[in-house]
Amino acid sequence: MTQFTRRNFIKAAGGAAVAAGAAGFPMVSFGASKKVVVVGGGMGGAAAAKYIRMMDSSIEVTVIEANKHYYTCFMSNEVIHGRRSIDSIRFGYTGLAGHGVKVVHDIVTGIDANKQTVMTKGGHHFKYDRCIVAPGVDFKWEKIEGYDAKVAEDIPHAWKAGSQTVTLRKQIESMKDGGVVAICPPPNPFRCPPGPYERTSLIAAYLKKNKPKSKIVVLDPKPKFSKMGLFTAAWEKYYGYKSSDSMIDWQGTPKGSDDNVLKSVDAKTRTVTTGFNELKADVLNIIPAQKAGKIAFAAGLTKGDWCPVHHNTFESTIHKNIHVIGDAAIQSPLPKSGYAANSEAKVTAAAVVALLNGKDAPTPSWVNTCYSFVHPGDGISVAMVYNLVDGKVSKVKGSGGLTPGYAKSTMEMRAREEQYALSWFKNITHDTFG
């Protein structure tokens, strides 16, 4: 991958912002009162709703969101580490209302694509001209015997931020020194590919300081993972990785084997069984395999586990006038990340506004950066700009890259990455909910 140079990235990303962001779209009103219904007010849905209103204030936009507050998954690993409070990652919907978005708290139970109507658990029906579906992910519970939504309250996945983030933090805090934390990451594809390894790093940082005799065992069903070289170099630097008393024991699974593929969980004894072994832990963090949010299946928007879309507009290839964005969509090579969901939201908002006004959708481009903390004061990132080639999202050659390894970077640069991450968090949450 190209070495990361921030100047090249910003140059390329600047192009993407003009194409996909609000900067390129003045507030306009075309007079017609069209209706857009957005299902899910998370990273993708909330941003799409706000940007449609900013681009064309004549469009009536309703967001239907299950919860009164949204907890960002990004920075939730910091809550688990203990240096951030759960309240600092909590956002409400008054900002969206300020942009004229109608926010309804209810659960969407169905979408009738023929009648262009969204139905809710509360018994309400919402007519739309265009619908944007952004429900995030659901879990494939059936893949792990003994693990389900109920068990997850005690043995948390914490892969949707909120109460389970707090539970995991408390369990690590109350674990004895010398205890074992077992983390079971999911198979690909899943939300936030570097997330389990950032979590491993930040739990290790907490344990190193507070319970140094403890261990973290990562039972990974994959042979490798995102930013692996950067993570393992940091684990060597801070946590003794590869030495005989390493705090982190990462066990991958070679292709074609099921060595560390999680088969079952015994919740009472906190024991996991994989294809190869059994492990009893003091704290268990199981992150199950993932698929599109439930409503995507109920609405017939899926093919396999995810929702196929036309990449120029993110309109479903199955149902007309319905767009699917964020983690639920098949958007590879864009990752399933909050930043990508935000970028997709802007592209889709621009497309929806154009199409509702009888115009062609503009040519899209997207941008993504995923930051991770490997230790307090030490951050890394992977970045990329994408454009449309032959109707598909494609990486723009030379536009992104990775943070250089320790040999080619200074600790000042790595500390700056941490600061960039914190500033990104402030900006993207304001961009989405402000």
Ligand X SMILES: Cc1cc2nc3c(=O)[nH]c(=O)nc-3n(C[C@H](O)[C@H](O)[C@H](O)COP(=O)(O)OP(=O)(O)OC[C@H]3O[C@@H](n4cnc5c(N)ncnc54)[C@H](O)[C@@H]3O)c2cc1C
Binding site for ligand X (CB under 6 A): 39-45, 64-67, 70, 73-74, 76-77, 107-108, 134-136, 159, 191-192, 195, 293, 295, 326-328, 336-339, 341, 370-371
> In the complex with ligand X, which residue's Cβ is closer, 79 or 265?
79
Indicate the residue type of 138. D
| CB 42, min distance to ligand X, A | 2
> In the complex with ligand X, which residue's Cβ is closer, 275 or 308?
308
> In the complex with ligand X, which residue's Cβ is closer, 45 or 179?
45
> In the complex with ligand X, which residue's Cβ is closer, 28 or 97?
97
| CB 76, min distance to ligand X, A | 5
Backbone angles phi, psi at 246, to 5 degrees: -60, 140
Residues 353, 416: Cα–Cα separation, whole Å: 38
> In the complex with ligand X, which residue's Cβ is closer, 28 or 141?
141
Query: How far is residue 195 CA from its own chain's centroid?
Result: 9
> In the complex with ligand X, which residue's Cβ is closer, 84 or 271?
84
Ramachandran bin of 390, using left for φ above 0, alpha for ψ from -120 to 50, beta for the remaining angles = left
Residues 286, 265: Cα–Cα separation, whole Å: 9
| CB 213, min distance to ligand X, A | 26
Residues 362, 354: Cα–Cα separation, whole Å: 8
Through-space distance between the first and last CA atoms of the chain, rounded to whole angstroms = 35
430: number of Cβ within 10 Å: 11
The residue number whose beta carbon is nearest to ligand X equals: 42
| CB 203, min distance to ligand X, A | 12
> In the complex with ligand X, which residue's Cβ is closer, 179 or 338?
338
Indicate the residue type of 154. D
| CB 314, min distance to ligand X, A | 12
Indicate the residue type of 215. K
18: number of Cβ within 10 Å: 12
Residues 394, 389: Cα–Cα separation, whole Å: 6
Residues with Cβ within 8 Å of residue 334, at least 6 apart in sequence: 340, 343, 344, 366, 368, 386, 393
Closest-CA residue to 248 (of 266, 235, 259, 231): 235
| CB 106, min distance to ligand X, A | 7
| CB 52, min distance to ligand X, A | 15
Beta bridge partners of 91: 70
> In the complex with ligand X, which residue's Cβ is closer, 248 or 292?
292
| CB 253, min distance to ligand X, A | 21
3-state secondary structure of 414: helix
